[in-house]
């Protein structure tokens, strides 16, 4: 489904250059649940940002079902990202001034989905994630776990082909973290492709494959862990 | 989608809380000032556009090239008619104004605005008829048209139609039509209109048929697609011939003043009333530009400065699919909402301030003007300009923040953002300092003008205008004797032109002994004896004209010398070293520059120079004669003891009827006439300074916004500093030093341009203040003072913050 080929990325400022990714190649198949692990500064979030088209590589290719995404224009990539990829962040990244419902509805608005369909799809995910009672609340009125569920709902509402999660349990306690992981596993079981960055080996156990990184390179691309439970 | 943008904009506006209020208030103050200025401009530029086919209407004016290019708003009676007969214009109508004593019932009314007009007046100029028929009223010799307020004044609640009014001649007139009061946006001034036939009945046909009596405002309707300049040339060719047959030396030409330009560009002699000033409109337009610049950039500066607070939101929106254009739309919508709120506040402010503006600046702005289409178009244009001007740059910048940077909380940061904000603030501060210095100079100049002696005494003098010259000069000796018996009246004199009035006649002077010494364009004035004593004009040598010299001069042949009085400028030009030396010397007065028609003169006195109108006009060479009356109308000046204005007036009224056949003339205090000369300048100066102050206020709002935001952003730093013992002054310095340094930089950068602009403006005055260096020093200190107040206020507010909570939260 996704093939990254020799992706390299250097960050530079006036004083220093940092090689964030060096010739990274990675294939992600449809329906996989992949964990990217590594120490701080190893390049795992940078890799996820490349997969999510939030960064452009200095070199290499990004194939998605045969199309080279780096050949696309900026706006085409933006459209692709909005329709094919869903994001979940460690710090939830919800808009504090919007209600739960409005936060979830936001991507559909930008995709210009008709109002009735928007309502139907938002209600679906609200129900699926047991947030219906909270739909009129604002993010700051919710617990961390609930906020992350809203973020997941927002990622799901566009029915993306791939869900990208950047340390989705990083700001949650272990019990809530486990709940979120179970939810992601459920989604994977329903067919979603998920790529997740995590520090936690325990949470990595929920994934079908673990990719390990160090100093901007992949050091283990194929570790298979037993499914938790 | 629009509703989503609007909803998000509302949330953003709400989320910014007090910063939004500061931003809106700053913008609203700027917009309020702009709207008031715009309303004044719209009001001033829309004069006389309500007449049908106003684009084709013009007033024919005469310019006397050989008389110092004097332009007169009224022309001779037969001229307009001749143009129509010759087919040079499609149509034409004449108006002439008189002051008449009218009797209504048992009451007498001195009416200064009685207009006599041709019967086709209403075909060309628009009047709102409330009752009766204007055309019929002007056709019938006894017909009279009156305005609504005149009807109320004369007849109260009675029906005005068919009421009788007695002319000074005893002829009865009948009110046959009532028109609405003239709108404020017209250069015309009249309270009633009668037909030309009525004028003929009062004054005879002489005035109507005279080619030399420029007393008729003549309006013409031009043919379609006519070339105005070519037509003016053809009119000049046609109309100057009959005049030159009478006075061969006259060179003159005619101009067609478009009716809608008269108010702002018409500054000819004998205008209906004091017109507006196009230059002042340019100053107001420049002020609008500067205030808008400051207000818009406040918004931009603030929007980009607070971008960091909204970075996460921007990033999230981008991640979930917002394209750049969607983000631009989002921010533009916010700008639209903010500007709309600020506009509403500004409009309310403007409506509340309108009565005060009218009183303080002698304007006649009315609420009804807000429904004027032109105002709407300008206001909408202004609204869109502010929305786009304020919103577009922040929208572009904020929507371009890279997604990841936005998610990490980075706003419009880095060197470019910092320098951009500094540059904008620098420009705003420079504008505010420049305006303050310029405004101070304008104020100082107007004070100087008002306080500088004009060369004559203004106080306790009554001026009676437009009296028949022959009758006045003939009656004056007896009248004067009679008046001076009164203990209140000091002196009485007559003159064709008096100080405070634009002089129209010029001659050339040549020394009778040394022909190479000559002066051209010398203003000539015919005055009575005691003129200089009455006016308080200083005699440097010699004596006043004697009463008997009036008759002698009038009957003198070109070979006989007449007594003349010259002023100091002529004295110097003719090469005399002292005033005494000139006394008794012979002069040649040339009525044309080539001295084909001359009079011989003998200098009997030299007087000090005086300014004929205001200090804006230079001191002119002047020569005074007695007996050679050139103008149909002259003025009477009465000098009286201080505090006896009413007694003097009452005595004059009583004596007038016994000595003069004409009605009691229009009168005014000389000091009021002089004051009126500077009225426009004074009001303009006050307005400029008020709006400068508002500009300063808008800048202060900008600084307040940035300062409080900076304080909020650095809350933890300030909390720590306070914890370590920093006092209010230390925090003020940390927070305010950047602004103070910027004021100094802006000040040093703006000094030269301001100095150049100030000099450029001052040079138009003959007497003007020099560079007021104290203003150059005061302006930045004023601004620094305001900024210091803002900074102290913000720091004081910080003192109320719970330090422990800040440190814990951070």
User: A167-183 pLDDT, tens per residue?
Assistant: 888 877 888 888 888 88
Contact A83 B323 (CB under 8 A): no
Closest Cα in chain B to A105: B320
Instruction: List, in order, residues 6 or more apart from B764 with CB less than 8 Å away.
Output: B616
The pLDDT score that the predictor gives to residue A227 is 44
Q: Rounded to an integer, what distance in angstroms lies between the CA atom of residue B224 and that of residue B622?
A: 45
Whether the pLDDT of residue A226 is over 50: the answer is: no
The pLDDT score that the predictor gives to residue B415 is 58
Contact A87 B407 (CB under 8 A): no
Residues of chain B with pLDDT under 50: 810
The share of chain A scoring above pLDDT 70, in percent, equals: 96
Contact B404 A55 (CB under 8 A): yes
The pLDDT score that the predictor gives to residue B177 is 95
More confident residue, B501 or A4: A4
Shortest CB distance from A110 goes to which of B12, B14, B326?
B326
> Of A44, A53, A68, which is closest to residue B319 (Cα–Cα)?
A53
Which segment of A35-39, A116-120, B3-7, B741-745 scores lowest on mean pLDDT? B3-7
Put simply, whether A109 touches B (Cβ < 8 Å) is yes
More confident residue, B3 or A197: A197
Contact A82 B321 (CB under 8 A): yes
Across A111-136, b (16+ Cβ under 10 Å) vs e yields eebeeeebeebbeebbebbebeebbe
Put simply, whether B592 touches A (Cβ < 8 Å) is no
Contact B323 A75 (CB under 8 A): yes
Mean pLDDT of A124-150: 90
Contact B404 A49 (CB under 8 A): yes
Put simply, whether A111 touches B (Cβ < 8 Å) is yes
Contact A98 B14 (CB under 8 A): no
Contact A158 B317 (CB under 8 A): no
Contact B14 A97 (CB under 8 A): yes
Put simply, whether A154 touches B (Cβ < 8 Å) is yes
Q: Which of residues 323-362 of B touch A (CB under 8 A)?
A: 323-324, 326
Which of B8, B16, B321 to mutate to test binding with chain A, by most A CBs within 10 Å of its CB?
A: B321
The pLDDT score that the predictor gives to residue A228 is 39
Q: Rounded to an integer, what distance in angstroms lies between the CA atom of residue B223 and that of residue B217?
A: 19
Tokens of B522: 């010398």
Which segment of A146-155, A191-200, B241-250 scores lowest on mean pLDDT? B241-250
Put simply, whether A76 touches B (Cβ < 8 Å) is no
Which residues of B are less than 8 Å from A97 in CB distance? 8, 11-12, 14-15, 313
Closest Cα in chain B to A74: B323
Measured in angstroms, the CA of B327 and the nearest CA of chain A are apart by 10
Put simply, whether A89 touches B (Cβ < 8 Å) is yes
Shortest CB distance from B15 goes to which of A94, A97, A112?
A97
Q: Rounded to an integer, what distance in angstroms lies between the CA atom of residue B214 and that of residue B193?
A: 19
The pLDDT score that the predictor gives to residue B19 is 78
Q: Rounded to an integer, what distance in angstroms lies between the CA atom of residue B788 and that of residue B244?
A: 71
The pLDDT score that the predictor gives to residue B341 is 92
Task: Quote the DSSP letter at residue B662.
Answer: S
- Contact between B623 and B601 under an 8 Å Cβ cutoff? The reply is yes
Measured in angstroms, the CA of B401 and the nearest CA of chain A are apart by 12
Q: Rounded to an integer, what distance in angstroms lies between the CA atom of residue B766 and that of residue B768?
A: 6
Put simply, whether B315 touches A (Cβ < 8 Å) is yes
Whether the pLDDT of residue A229 is over 50: the answer is: no
Which of A51, A93, A159 to mutate to test binding with chain B, by most B CBs within 10 Å of its CB?
A: A93
Shortest CB distance from B323 goes to which of A54, A78, A96?
A78
Put simply, whether B13 touches A (Cβ < 8 Å) is no
Put simply, whether A147 touches B (Cβ < 8 Å) is no
- Within 13 A of A190's CA, how many CA atoms are on the CB side? 13
Residues B126-140 have pLDDT tens digits of 999 999 999 999 999
Measured in angstroms, the CA of B10 and the nearest CA of chain A are apart by 10
Task: For residue B359, count other CB atoms closer than 10 A to its CB.
Answer: 9
Q: Rounded to an integer, what distance in angstroms lies between the CA atom of residue A223 and that of residue B144?
A: 110
Which of B316, B317, B323 to mutate to test binding with chain A, by most A CBs within 10 Å of its CB?
A: B316
Shortest CB distance from B321 goes to which of A95, A97, A110?
A110
Contact B316 A95 (CB under 8 A): yes
Burial class (CB in 10 A: 0-12, 13-18, 19+), B25: middle
């Amino acid at each position: 489904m996704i093939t990254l080929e020799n992706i390299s990325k250097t960050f530079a400022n006036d004083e220093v250059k940092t090689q964030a990714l060096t010739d990274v190649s990675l294939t992600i198949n449809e329906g996989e649940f992949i964990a990217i692990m590594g120490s701080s500064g190893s390049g795992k979030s940078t890799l996820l940002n490349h997969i999510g088209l939030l960064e452009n590589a200095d070199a290499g290719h990004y194939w998605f079902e045969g199309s080279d995404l780096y050949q696309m224009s900026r706006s085409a990539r933006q459209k692709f990202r909005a329709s094919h990829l869903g994001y979940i962040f460690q710090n939830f990244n919800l808009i504090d001034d919007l209600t739960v419902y409005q936060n979830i509805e936001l991507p559909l608005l930008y995709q210009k989905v008709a109002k009735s369909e928007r309502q139907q799809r938002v209600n679906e995910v609200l129900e699926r994630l047991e947030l219906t009672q909270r739909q009129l609340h604002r993010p700051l009125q919710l617990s961390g776990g609930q906020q992350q569920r809203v973020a997941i709902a927002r990622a799901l509402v566009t029915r993306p082909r791939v869900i990208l999660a950047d340390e989705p349990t990083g700001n949650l306690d272990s019990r809530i973290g486990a709940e979120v992981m179970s939810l992601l596993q459920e989604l994977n079981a329903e067919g979603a492709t998920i790529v997740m960055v995590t520090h936690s080996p325990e949470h990595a156990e929920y994934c079908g494959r673990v990719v390990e990184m160090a100093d901007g390179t992949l050091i283990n691309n194929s570790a298979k862990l037993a499914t938790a439970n | 989608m629009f509703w989503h943008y609007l909803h998000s904009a509302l949330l953003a506006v709400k989320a910014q809380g007090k910063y939004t209020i500061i931003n809106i208030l700053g913008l609203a103050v700027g917009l309020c000032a702009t709207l008031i200025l715009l309303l004044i401009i719209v009001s001033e530029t829309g004069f006389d556009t309500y007449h049908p086919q106003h684009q084709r209407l013009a007033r024919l004016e005469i310019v006397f090239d050989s008389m110092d290019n004097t332009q007169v708003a009224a022309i001779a009676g037969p001229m307009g008619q001749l143009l129509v007969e010759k087919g040079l214009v499609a149509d034409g109508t004449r108006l002439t104004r008189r002051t008449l004593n009218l009797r209504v019932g048992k009451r007498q009314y001195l009416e200064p605005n009685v207009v006599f007009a041709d019967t086709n007046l209403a075909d060309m100029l628009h009047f709102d008829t409330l009752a009766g028929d204007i055309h019929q009223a002007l056709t019938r010799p006894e017909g009279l048209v009156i305005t609504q307020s005149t009807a109320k004044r004369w007849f109260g609640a009675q029906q005005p139609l068919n009421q009788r009014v007695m002319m000074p001649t005893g002829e009865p007139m009948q009110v046959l039509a009532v028109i609405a009061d003239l709108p404020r946006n017209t250069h015309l001034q009249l309270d009633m209109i009668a037909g030309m036939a009525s004028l003929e009945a009062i004054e005879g046909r002489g005035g109507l048929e005279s080619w030399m009596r420029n007393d008729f405002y003549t309006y013409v309707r031009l043919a379609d697609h006519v070339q105005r300049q070519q037509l003016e040339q053809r009119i000049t060719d046609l109309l100057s011939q009959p005049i030159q047959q009478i006075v061969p030396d006259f060179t003159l030409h005619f101009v067609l003043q478009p009716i809608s330009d008269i108010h702002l560009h018409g500054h000819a002699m004998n205008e209906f009333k004091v017109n507006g000033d196009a230059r002042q409109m340019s100053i107001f337009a420049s002020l609008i530009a500067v205030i808008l610049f400051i207000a818009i950039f406040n918004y931009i500066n603030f929007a980009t400065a607070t971008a960091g607070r909204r970075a996460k939101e921007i990033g999230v929106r981008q991640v979930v699919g917002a394209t750049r254009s969607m983000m631009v739309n989002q921010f533009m919508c916010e700008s639209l909402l903010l500007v709309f709120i600020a506009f509403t506040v500004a409009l309310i402010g403007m409506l509340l301030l309108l009565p005060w503006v009218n009183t303080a600046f002698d304007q006649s702005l009315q609420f009804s003007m807000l429904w004027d289409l032109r105002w709407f178009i300008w206001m909408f244009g202004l609204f869109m300009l502010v929305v786009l001007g304020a919103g577009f740059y922040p929208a572009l910048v904020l929507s371009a923040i890279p997604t990841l940077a936005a998610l990490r909380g980075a706003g419009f940061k880095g060197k470019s953002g910092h320098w951009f904000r500094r540059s904008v603030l620098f420009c705003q501060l420079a504008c505010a300092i420049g305006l303050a210095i310029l405004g101070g100079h304008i104020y100082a100049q107007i004070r100087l003008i008002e306080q500088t002696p004009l060369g004559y005494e203004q106080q306790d003098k009554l001026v009676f205008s437009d009296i028949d010259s022959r009758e006045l000069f003939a009656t004056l000796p007896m009248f004067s004797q009679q008046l001076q018996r009164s203990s209140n009246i000091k002196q009485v004199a007559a003159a064709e032109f008096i100080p405070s009035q634009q002089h129209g006649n010029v001659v050339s002077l040549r020394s009778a002994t040394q022909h190479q010494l000559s002066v051209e364009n010398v203003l000539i004035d015919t005055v009575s004896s005691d003129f200089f004593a009455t006016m308080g004009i200083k005699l440097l040598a010699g004596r006043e004209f004697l009463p008997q010299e009036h008759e002698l001069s009038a009957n003198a042949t070109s070979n006989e010398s007449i007594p003349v009085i010259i002023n100091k400028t002529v004295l110097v030009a003719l090469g005399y070293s002292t005033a005494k030396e000139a006394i008794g010397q012979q002069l040649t007065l040339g009525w044309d520059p080539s001295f084909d028609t001359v009079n011989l003169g003998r200098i009997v006195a030299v007087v000090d120079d005086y300014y004929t109108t205001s200090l804006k006009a230079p001191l002119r060479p002047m020569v005074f004669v007695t007996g050679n009356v050139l103008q149909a109308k002259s003025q009477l000046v009465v000098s009286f003891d201080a505090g006896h204005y009413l007694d003097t007036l009452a005595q004059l009224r009583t004596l007038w009827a016994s000595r003069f056949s004409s009605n009691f003339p229009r009168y005014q205090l000389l000091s009021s006439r002089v004051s009126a000369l500077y009225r426009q300048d004074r009001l303009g100066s006050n307005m400029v300074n008020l709006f400068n102050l508002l500009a300063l206020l808008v800048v202060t709002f900008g600084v307040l916004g940035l300062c409080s935001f900076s304080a909020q952003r650095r809350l933890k730093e300030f909390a720590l500093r306070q914890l370590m013992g920093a006092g209010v002054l230390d925090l003020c310095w940390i927070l305010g030093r950047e602004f103070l340094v910027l004021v100094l930089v802006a000040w040093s950068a703006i000094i030269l341009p301001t100095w150049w602009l100030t000099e450029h403006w001052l040079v138009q005055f003959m007497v003007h203040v020099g560079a007021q260096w104290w203003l150059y020093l005061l302006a930045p200190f004023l601004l620094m003072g305001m900024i210091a107040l803002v900074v102290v206020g913000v720091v004081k507010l910080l003192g109320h913050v719970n330090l422990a909570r800040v440190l814990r939260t951070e």
